[in-house]
Amino acid sequence: MPLTFSGPDLADQTGTSETISIQPVPPQTSTQVTFTAATYGTNADGTPQTLPGVAGTTSLTFTVLSGFNRLVFGLASPAPQLQSVNIVQDAILLSTVSVDLHSGTGSLPIMGTGTAATGGQS
């Protein structure tokens, strides 16, 4: 189930695995921008939970947590000039982020609701 907009926030069922990607903003057809790091949710001590394996990639995957949590990510580019990229899930535009002087940051507020279907019948 893809992320959906619920007011200003994104929402999905708790436990659902979601993937977001970087795409160029048209009319550009390519970009060298990649994720540098990402956090989503918090650890038991209240510090941000780092998502593993994100650095240098153009997509990241996370599991939707219960309640309101913010996905925060860093972006990098080998080019110093100002450029914008779209953060998408499939063909759905979630956000547009600017990268300037090699870096940028973005965040997506996500509300996890209920629980994901397990495929069984009740």
**Element spanning 108, H or E:** strand 103-113
Q: Is residue 25 part of a domain?
A: yes
Show the domain range for 19.
9-112
Please tell me the total number of residues recorded for the chain in this structure: 122
Domain-embedded: residue 122: no
Q: Is residue 105 part of a domain?
A: yes
120 part of a folded domain: no
Mean pLDDT by 10 residues, the chain (122 residues): 74 92 95 97 94 96 95 96 94 94 95 68 36
Residue 28 included in any domain? yes
| 1 part of a folded domain | no
The helix or strand, by DSSP H or E, that contains position 18, with its residue range, turns out to be strand 17-24
Q: Among candidates 54, 68, 53, which has minimal Cα distance to 14?
A: 68
pTM of the model: 0.87
The enclosing domain of 67 has a CATH number of 2.60.40
| Number of structural domains the chain divides into | 1
| Residue 116 pLDDT | 59
Q: Quote the tokens at residue 101.
A: 């002087």
At 3 the pLDDT is 81
